[in-house]
Amino acid sequence: MYCLIKLFPFFPSLSAGLLRFKALESLFRAFSCSAALTVSVLMLPSVVHAQSVSIADYLPDYSSDYGPVVGCGVSLREDGSESEPYRYRMSMSGAIAPFVDFRYRLQFRGDFRNLFPNAALFLEAGTSGIDRMNFYGMGNERYYRGTGLTEDDFEITSQVTVLKASLRYPMNMAYYWFAGVGGKWVDLHLIQGSYPDLHRSEIPGIDENFAGSFHIGFHYDTRDNRYNSAASPHTENGRAGSGEPSGDSSAVSGTLVDIEAAHFPRFFSNSCDFTRFSGEVRKYIPFSPSGYSRLVVRAGGEKIWGTYPFWEAASLGGSSSLRGYDLQRFAGDASLYAGSELRLEAGKFTFIVPVTFGPLAFLETGRVFLEGEDSSAWHTAAGGGLWFRLDNPRFTASIAYGTGFDDGRLMDDLGIYLKAGFSF
């Protein structure tokens, strides 16, 4: 608990220098404490529930957008009944990017299931300077190869803070509906002489620093990791009867569906008024009843109506949507994307512990739409790499190289992506 308490004060109200120093101090303390607290502590006999503190959200990552990222976190959980895995679960995690001015990411998540019947209150708070913003101009065909510009010329230094609260119902299925409110605060710093600085008048909402929203959506998740280590019957029954996700990007089979509609009204300091609809579907197709070879396909997109700041535009590019292109390389009123990744199991080797490994190959495509622009271009990328997995699917990692096929691709960086898990 000391780790969690020490991490709570980190929000942008402090100066940037103090934040960086204290973020490093707290991350070190969080790692030290969480490594020692991976035990379950039973309460006094008069209390029927058990609490546990454990390591959570180990976050090694690498991208050409921000370089290597390292981090970790702690999780506090109180067990529930046979039909629910826990009464509440709270986690706090942090990460730093040491080669981009020691930018950091801090995140708190709370999942409370003892407040409402068959429903959960989900709280999320976080701040990040790692997930940088880029502005290449609005539209699907903004190309700069041969101009002498590099990726760094399009960067906008930012610190983004998010608060969200939502209710989820029901909690006894593989799906749930959710509704809630959220707020985003953005602190932007244009680099003198950069493309955004020289074209400030072209950037919609450049002076906006807040957006509040009401959101509603649907989530369906039947992904299965084929976790070989035996879990307790209480844990397995809880997962099956609570809506707790049984898989993540390292899943071997199953389906994921995410749909959300959000409205951002004009209030407080926000002068924009817009509505967004977004969705994504993923399918994990195994090649055999056992083993880890599978094909993963996904498709998604979003549409925005109204006047929005550029940092809320429908964008494509980066490890989460279109590898081989820079983060937020294309931005518009709407976006569509699709991709597939083949992950084959090649064998096993032992390096202290048994490790399953294999090759991967991917193909991705997408585009954005902008009112007034006449474009039929689709941006396509392909690549390959390797993946590694321990017996526990939490410890899955992948490394891949990707390149785009048109003039919007990466100009001076290698498209190397190292992740805990996979891109999707």
* Band (59; pLDDT cuts 50, 70, 90): low
Q: Which has more confidence, 118 or 22?
A: 118
pLDDT at 180: 98
- Looking at the DSSP bridge assignments, the partners of residue 94 are 72, 106
pLDDT at 62: 74
- CATH code of the domain in which 413 resides: 2.40.160.50
CA-based nearest residue to 158, from 98, 208, 204: 208
* Band (338; pLDDT cuts 50, 70, 90): very high
Strands 294-307, 273-286: pairing is antiparallel
* Contacts of residue 397, Cβ cutoff 8 Å, sequence gap at least 6: 60, 387, 388, 389, 418, 419, 420, 421
> Exposed/middle/buried for 338, CB within 10 Å: 0-12, 13-18, 19+?
middle
Give me the percent of the chain exceeding a pLDDT of 90.
57
| Alpha carbons 106 and 88: distance in angstroms, whole number | 20
| Alpha carbons 214 and 217: distance in angstroms, whole number | 11
Measured in degrees and rounded to the nearest 5, phi and psi for residue 201 equal: -65, -20
pLDDT (tens digit per residue) in 66-79: 778 888 888 888 87
pLDDT at 49: 53
pLDDT at 384: 98
Q: Specify if 329 maps to a domain.
A: yes
| Alpha carbons 398 and 282: distance in angstroms, whole number | 18
pLDDT at 260: 98
Lowest mean pLDDT among 11-25, 289-303, 405-419: 11-25
Place of tokens 């190397």: 416
Domain range enclosing 157 = 132-420
Full 3-state SS string of the chain? CHHHHHHCCCCCCCCHHHHHHHHHHHHHHHHHHHHHCCEEEECCCCCCCEEEEEECCCCCEEECCCEEEEEEEEEEEEECCCCCCEEEEEEEEEEEECCCCCEEEEEEEEEEEEEECCEEEEEEEEEECCCCEECCCCECCCCCCCCCCCHHHHEEEEEEEEEEEEEEECCCCCEEEEEEEEEEEEEEEECCCCHHHHCHHHCCCCCCCEEEEEEEEEEEECCECCCCCCCCHHHHHHHHHHCCCCCCCCCCEEEEEEEEEEEECCCCCCCCEEEEEEEEEEEEEECCCCCCCEEEEEEEEEEEEEECCHHHCEEECECCCECCCCCCCEEECEEEEEEEEEECCCEEEEECEEEEEEEEEEEEEEEEECCCCCCCCCEEEEEEEEEEECCCCCCEEEEEEEEECCCCCCCCCCCEEEEECCCC
Q: Specify if 260 maps to a domain.
A: yes
Q: Which has more confidence, 110 or 48?
A: 110
Written as six digits, the tokens of 137 are 């101009």
pLDDT at 52: 59
pLDDT at 18: 38
Q: Which has more confidence, 62 or 187?
A: 187
| Alpha carbons 135 and 328: distance in angstroms, whole number | 7
* Band (134; pLDDT cuts 50, 70, 90): very high
CA-based nearest residue to 255, from 246, 266, 244: 246
Give me the percent of the chain exceeding a pLDDT of 70.
79
Written as six digits, the tokens of 338 are 């699709």
Q: Which has more confidence, 200 or 270?
A: 200
Q: Which has more confidence, 231 or 90?
A: 90
| Alpha carbons 339 and 356: distance in angstroms, whole number | 24
Q: Specify if 14 maps to a domain.
A: no
Q: Specify if 293 maps to a domain.
A: yes
Q: Specify if 299 maps to a domain.
A: yes
Q: Specify if 75 maps to a domain.
A: no
Q: Which has more confidence, 52 or 163?
A: 163
Q: Which has more confidence, 375 or 27?
A: 375
pLDDT at 56: 55
pLDDT at 44: 35
Domain total in the chain: 1
Lowest mean pLDDT among 111-120, 375-384, 387-396, 398-407: 387-396
pLDDT (tens digit per residue) in 203-253: 999 999 999 999 999 999 999 876 544 343 334 444 443 444 446 888 999
pLDDT at 4: 35
Does residue 392 register a pLDDT over 90? Answer: no
* Band (183; pLDDT cuts 50, 70, 90): very high
Q: Specify if 150 maps to a domain.
A: yes
Q: Specify if 118 maps to a domain.
A: no
| Alpha carbons 278 and 266: distance in angstroms, whole number | 20
CA-based nearest residue to 2, from 42, 41, 34, 47: 34
Does residue 15 register a pLDDT over 60? Answer: no
Q: What is the mean pLDDT of the chain?
A: 82
pLDDT (tens digit per residue) in 281-298: 999 999 988 889 999 999
